[in-house]
Structure 1
Amino acid sequence: MRLRKKWWARPEMEQSPLTVINPQEYKGKWKEEFKNENPIYLELGCGRGTFLCEHAKQNSNINYIGIDLKDEVLIYALRKLIQEELTNARIIPTNITNISEMFDENEVSRIYINFCNPWPKDRHNKRRLTHTRFLNQYKQFLKPESEIWFKTDDKDLFEDSQVYFKENGFNIEYITYDLHNSDFQENIVTEYESKFTSLGMKTMFLLAKLTVVSE
């Protein structure tokens, strides 16, 4: 469903100190922004922010950054953070394509990718957030032994992603084709996940750890 443009969303976001409009200017300076030395976790495609907000509430000793292209959904993520008075999270309204320009070497400790666009056509595969094209960018700023947590309901994307991770220096530490009936205990349900689980959808999940650092 196409989102209706909310012209008021960007001005409202720009007024909040929790919104980072020019993330390239913060490269290598994120600890200064958060005013602490805590680990930084990214959520790529954070949508309305339920997942981001819940993580930030449960882990005050971790800094969270949610990135999404759509102001129309990101404004609700911001409002959730403000309502919960969370200071350990930021939002970035931008395209993820050039994410390596936003973070410096060893600046990020974990990435969450939840239900990203599967881009099923072969000519579009490189747009997948788990594709080699993006993994090589993540490796430029992930710390050694950092993790990527990946959830999807698309089997082709899930199986192709396993190949991408293995070919790019990541070891798959945990994998399940049915997360909600698995023994994994640390899942936080996204809005999308909650809706489609009620319709019988199975969530696939893997945890990949970076074992090789690119030069």
Structure 2
Amino acid sequence: MRARHKPWADDFLKDNTEIIELNPAACKGNWKQEISQGRPIHLEIGTGKGSFIDGMAANHPSVHFVGMELVKSIIVSAVEKVKNTERSNVTFINDNAEKLTEIFAENEVDQLYLNFSDPWPKNRHEKRRLTFHTFLSQYQQILKPGGQLVMKTDNRGLFEYSLVSLSQFGCTLEEVTFDLHQLEDPMNVMTEYEEKFSAKGQPIYRCCVSFPK
């Protein structure tokens, strides 16, 4: 996702520490005590401009949602959105998914979401895909026993790659759909990309998996 540089982003984030955690590694092992007040933690990696996490927070007030986004000029839009809707059950972190186990302790996350991740289609970039086995190892570590990963994408190549990668890792495929909106799932909350692609008639792929323990 490309975004225009926003020179005011640093100051904006520093002024909104009730919504964004500027030192997430310091919360490791204490997210539920210090951040979520004991509520389950659902983590979205690559939260974009925040439509999904804001909608989920509205629908599930008993859950605390954490949105991870690497690009600072994008995460400010998510922070601004949640600030405007006054959600009290959302926290953002501006960091890299490669550092998940530095930020969350073992079994600390209850559910994980990957929405419209960069497909990194070239073979030499396979290690950057968020369903590559090194990332799956981190997800397995931070997810509680029975915790699930829910993935949505418009990219069939990435989806098929992910199904193979997840299966080879030992995950159980609880749900696989190649046309999400044909299901008319009332619980589905759309991301910005999902709204854009579905309006063009493109199928949206979704899977839900559980990890071996």
Q: For the superposition of Structure 1 and Structure 2, which TM-score range results when normalised by the shorter chain? A: over 0.9
Q: Give, in whole Å, the separation in 2 of the partners of 1:189 and 1:14.
A: 29
Give the root-mean-square deviation of aligned CA atoms. Answer: 1.3
Output the amino acid matched with 2:120.
W
Quote the offset at 1:35 in angstroms: 5.0
Quote the offset at 1:76 in angstroms: 1.3
Q: Give, in whole Å, the separation in 1 of the partners of 2:60 and 2:203.
A: 27
Match of 1:189 in 2: 190
Match of 1:101 in 2: 102
Q: Give, in whole Å, the separation in 1 of the partners of 2:102 and 2:136.
A: 14
Match of 2:120 in 1: 119
Give 4+ residue runs of structure 1 displaced > 4 Å after superposition.
none
Match of 1:141 in 2: 142
Q: Give, in whole Å, the separation in 1 of the partners of 2:82 and 2:165.
A: 33
Output the amino acid matched with 2:12.
E
TM-score, normalization by structure 1 = 0.94
What does residue range 24-103 of structure 1 map to in structure 2 within 5 Å? 24-34=25-35, 36-103=37-104
Report whether the alignment pairs 1:11 with 2:15.
no
Q: Give, in whole Å, the separation in 1 of the partners of 2:51 and 2:59.
A: 12
Task: Give the direction of change, closer, same or farther, for the CA distance of 1:34–1:197 in structure 2 (3 Å limit).
Answer: same
Match of 1:159 in 2: 160
Output the amino acid matched with 1:36.
Q
Task: Give the direction of change, closer, same or farther, for the CA distance of 1:173–1:133 in structure 2 (3 Å limit).
Answer: same
| Unaligned 5+ runs, structure 2 | none
Match of 2:133 in 1: 132
| Unaligned 5+ runs, structure 1 | none
Output the amino acid matched with 1:7.
P
SS in 1 for 2:190: coil
TM-score, normalization by structure 2 = 0.95
How many residues are paired up? 212
Identical pairs, percent: 38
Quote the offset at 1:183 in angstroms: 5.5
